A and B are shown apart, each in its own frame.
Chain A
Amino acid sequence: MLLKLVIPAILDQADTVQIESIDIAENTRLMPGAQICEFTSGIDLADMHDCPPTTTYRMTSSENAWVRTVSARPGDQLLSGDILAVLSTGPDDPLDGQEERRARNTIAAIFKPVAW
């Protein structure tokens, strides 16, 4: 079965996230709890006056699956609902298969030091 890893909706007012890091690679195994990526939400509002509500999140896997394709790189900006990667339950599942669902993952807001 194909598992679509989708950018989650974080804020109602802003649907763009910036990918800070990608920690998965194609054709590798992804275990539950493994780090997938880090992204910053609220960047549409980054120019907002008085305390822009940007937050960095770390996405981790809740699946035991195989990484088949990765669609983003650090620095890319994606929208909520965009596909970040395609996983599969078996290493050789056809990529044009009909069976699919969204990949389960968890996100947590993290502290990120200022990049000098």
Chain B
Amino acid sequence: MSEIAPLRLAQVCGPDLRLHRSAIRWQRGFGEHFNAGDLLGHCNVTLVNAARNGQTRHRLEPDLAMLQIALVARVSGCLQEAPGTSAGGFADFQEWFPWESDTVVANVAIDSDAHVTPGQPLYDTQFVTGRPITSLAENRTGLGTGWVNRKRAWRTGDGSAADTGTVLGLGICELPFILRGEQGSFEEMLEAATGPVQLVDIPDIPIIHSARTIIQQIEQTQSDRNAVEAEFKRAIGESAAHSDPEDWIFAATCVAELNRDPTNETYQILSADGLSTAGPANAIILSINSEHSSRLRHRKLGFYLDCHTFRISSLGPAMRNWLKAHFEWVPYSTDMIRRDYTEMMKLLRKADPHRQILVLNAASTLRREDVMSYAAFDAPLENQLKSVQARALNSMLHDMAEETGIAIVDCDAIAARLGSSICVPDAVHQNGEMQTAIRQEILAILAARQVPGFCR
């Protein structure tokens, strides 16, 4: 017969902080069975940062305004409703309730064969937050929803927040879904952690994090940033009569992304230990598919604007004309990419020589092509043919792995093994099976490379 146990709120912050929460939004219906590792529910939370009793107000990072707490089951069983805990309406969104540890929010009928550790909570506390592009884009209708330029989640579990390892994703569209998982809040990666860990993902919107972009972001001075901002302000000004707000948003987000340095960012962590700071990241994951054979370079200032061509194609004519007037397409060879990677590695490891860099290589057998003669293509072939460039870049990574210690996440081999036509059906995006396989590969590398939070 199942044991019925109360699901109590855990201690999630130090005694000098107060947290308010919304009602719990359950992901499992009452009476519905769940397994260990399943997301049970989440709530929106806010830190009440009031100075009182002589205490100093904490400086809170902007992304903590989107803070949410998810309850991830440690045991299997069924949820049962606790009397007086139903909410609905704005109670599910607004932080109307003080977070008081030991509050019973539901009951759990624990499976008779579930392993329960006495004294341990029935769930793991997972924090999820994101830095909205603008406060207008704040959206907490779901767990981890909203247009953010940095999304992160962490669990400290039974460990100390001071030991939190951080893994940062800076890839193209293939990477966020792998890292964030099926639910979108990094559950699979966090579930595999062996200690306190944080996952951070920065999407490729609108800037792609190529090696050259990362170098620019690290090395730029405030004067450089001011010049970039002035350029895009001019873009809006010059095209204002004929452009629309969507183009202005593109220009503004380009400035915001070009002028930050994500590889050196730190992160405010909330835990039962209180507020602490984690980072910069112990490991960074990149995509070789962020490297293109031709790039936009500013004619006067020389900075590169790496952006998916479909975004540029969707801009209005006024903004496209401005880009055409002020940027030029420059060819970018594999040798140039190799030079960038060498330079980037030195910069990324300047402060932390043990920092691990993982790179997803390119699947080279994606397309239904069958080239019998290369006579109709111009040399160098890797600048014209996608499959040849994919192989050239993979070879480059292989050489660099021996020289610099880059860890290759071999998507090429995974795609071939699983069948690329099956697992990448539109020749660009992976299905769940392939994302799971790549995720397992990333986890194996993080463990082998002794990244904090994933060491075995």
Residues of chain A having any CB pair with chain B under 8 Å: 8-14, 32-35, 42, 45, 50-55, 57-58, 60, 62, 104, 106-111, 113-116
Residue of B at shortest CB range from A116? B324
Given contacts A13-B426, A108-B385, 14 further A-B contacts (CB under 8 A): A9-B368, A12-B425, A35-B376, A42-B426, A57-B369, A62-B373, A107-B368, A107-B369, A107-B370, A108-B386, A108-B387, A111-B293, A111-B385, A116-B321
As a 0/1 sequence over residues 420 to 435 of chain B, the CB contacts with chain A under 8 angstroms (1 = contact) are 0000011111000000
Q: Which residues of B contact A (CB under 8 A)?
A: 173, 292-294, 308-310, 312-313, 320-321, 323-324, 329, 367-377, 383-387, 389, 425-429
Choose among B320, B383, B387, B427 the residue with the greatest number of A CB atoms under 10 Å from its CB: B427
Do A109 and B373 have beta carbons less than 8 Å apart? no
Give the total number of A-B pairs whose CB atoms are below 8 A apart. Answer: 97
Q: A108-B385, A109-B385 are in contact. Are A58 and B377 (CB under 8 A)?
A: yes
Which residue among B308, B374, B386, B387 has the maximum number of chain A CB atoms within 10 Å of its CB? B386
- Closest A residue to B309 by CB, please name it: A114
The reply to whether B376 and A58 form a contact with Cβ atoms under 8 Å apart is yes
Contact B369 A33 (CB under 8 A): no
From the candidates B320, B371, B374, B429, name the one contacting A116 in the complex (CB within 8 A). Answer: B320
Docked Cα-Cα span, A14 to B426, in Å, equals 9
Nearest residue (CB) in B for A60 is B376
Which residue in chain A gives the minimum CB-CB distance to B317?
A: A116
- The CA of A10 and the CA of B428, in the complex, are separated in Å by 12
Specify which chain A residues have a CB less than 8 angstroms from the CB of B429 in the assembled complex: 51, 53
Cα distance A109–B377 in the bound complex, in angstroms: 11
Contact partner, A32, options B293, B373, B386, Cβ 8 Å = B373
Q: List 29 A-B contacts (CB under 8 A).
A: A9-B368, A11-B425, A14-B426, A33-B375, A51-B310, A53-B426, A55-B428, A57-B369, A60-B372, A60-B373, A60-B376, A104-B372, A106-B371, A106-B372, A106-B373, A108-B377, A108-B386, A109-B369, A109-B386, A109-B427, A110-B377, A111-B293, A111-B384, A111-B385, A111-B389, A113-B294, A113-B329, A115-B313, A116-B320
Which residue of B has the minimal Cβ distance to A8? Answer: B368
With a cutoff of 8 Å between Cβ atoms, the chain B residues found around residue A110 in the complex are: 377, 384-386
Using Cβ atoms and an 8 Å threshold, which residues of chain A touch B370? Answer: 106-107
A35, A51, A60, A106: most-surrounded residue (chain B CB, <10 A) = A51
Given A53-B428, A111-B384, verify A32-B294 contact (CB < 8 Å): no
> Which residues on A sit within 8 Å (CB–CB) of B386?
55, 108-111
Task: Enumerate chain A residues within 8 angstroms of B312, measured Cβ to Cβ.
Answer: 114
Contacts of A109 in B (CB 8 A): 367, 369, 385-387, 427
C-alpha spacing A109/B383, complex, angstroms: 12
Closest CB pairs A-B (n = 4)? A33-B375, A33-B373, A53-B428, A53-B426
The residues of A that contact B309 with a CB separation of less than 8 Å are 114
Chain B min CB distance to A42 (Å): 7
How far apart are B425's CB and chain A's nearest CB, in angstroms? 6
Question: Is the Cβ of B376 less than 8 Å from the Cβ of A33?
Answer: yes
Do A52 and B310 have beta carbons less than 8 Å apart?
A: yes
Chain B nearest CB: distance from A107 CB in Å?
5
**How many Å lie between the Cα of A53 and that of B174 in the bound state?**
12
User: A116: which B residues are within 8 A, CB to CB?
Assistant: 320-321, 323-324
The distance from the CB of A74 to the nearest CB of chain B, in whole angstroms, is 17
A54 nearest in chain B by CB position:
B310
User: Chain A: which residue is nearest B369 at the CB level?
Assistant: A108
Task: State the CA gap A40–B425 with chains docked (Å).
Answer: 17
Output the residue of A10, A32, A42, A110 with the most chain B CB within 10 A.
Answer: A110
Out of B329, B374, B426, which one reaches A45, CB within 8 Å? Answer: B426
Whole-angstrom CA separation of A13 from B375 in the bound complex: 31
State the CA gap A57–B366 with chains docked (Å): 13
CB distance from B311 to the nearest CB of A (A): 9
How far apart sit A74 and B183, CA to CA, in the bound complex (Å)? 43
Assess A60 versus B375: contact at CB under 8 Å? Given A51-B428, A109-B386, A111-B294. yes
B313 x A114 contact (CB < 8 A) = yes
- In the complex formed, the residue of B with least CB distance to A104 is B372
B428 CB contacts on chain A under 8 angstroms: 51, 53, 55
**What B residues does A55 contact at CB under 8 A?**
367, 386, 427-428
**Closest B-chain residue to A42, C-beta based?**
B426
CA A44 to CA B293, docked complex, whole Å: 26
Query: Across the interface, which residues of A come within 8 angstroms of B387, CB to CB?
Result: 108-109
B367: A residues at CB distance < 8 A:
10, 55, 57, 108-109
- Given contacts A35-B376, A113-B329, A116-B324, whether A108 and B426 have CB atoms under 8 Å apart is no
B371 contacts which chain A residues (CB < 8 A)? 60, 106, 108
Contact A11–B293 (Cβ < 8 Å) = no
Question: Could you tell me the distance in whole angstroms from the C-beta of B385 to the nearest C-beta in chain A?
Answer: 5
What residues on A are CB-neighbors of B368 within 8 Å? Answer: 8-10, 107
Chain B residues closer than 8 Å to A104, beta-carbon distance: 372
- Tell me, in angstroms, the Cα distance from A53 to B426 when the chains sit together: 6
Q: How far is the CA of A114 from the CA of B385 in the complex (A)?
A: 16
